[in-house]
Amino acid sequence: ITCDSAVAVPAAPTSPSAVNAKTSINLTWVDSSVGETGFKVYRKQGSNEFSLVSTQTTTSYIDSDTSEGATYEYYISSYNDNGESKKSKIVSATLDSINPFVVSTLPADGENYSGTTVIITFNEVIEIKCPEGQSGIATCVAPPAIELVGTGGSGNTYYMGQVGEKGISISGAPFVDGANPNYSVTVSKDHIFDLSGNQMDEDFTFTFTDG
**pLDDT value of residue 197:** 86
DSSP secondary structure code for residue 89 in this structure: -
**pLDDT value of residue 103:** 92
Could you give the angle at the alpha carbon of 190 between the alpha carbons of 148 and 198, nearest 5°?
125
**pLDDT value of residue 12:** 97
**pLDDT value of residue 77:** 98
**pLDDT value of residue 4:** 53
**pLDDT value of residue 148:** 86
**pLDDT value of residue 135:** 59
pLDDT in tens, the chain (211 residues): 555 555 689 999 999 999 999 999 999 999 999 889 999 999 999 999 999 999 999 999 999 999 999 999 999 999 999 999 999 999 999 999 999 999 999 999 999 998 888 888 899 888 887 766 665 545 565 667 888 888 998 887 777 655 555 555 666 666 777 888 999 999 989 888 888 889 999 999 999 999 8
Q: Beta strand pairing status for 38-45 and 51-56?
A: antiparallel
**pLDDT value of residue 139:** 55
**pLDDT value of residue 170:** 63
Residue 93 contacts residue 17 (beta carbons within 8 Å): no
The alpha carbon of residue 136 and the mean position of all alpha carbons in its chain are separated, in whole angstroms, by 18
**pLDDT value of residue 163:** 52
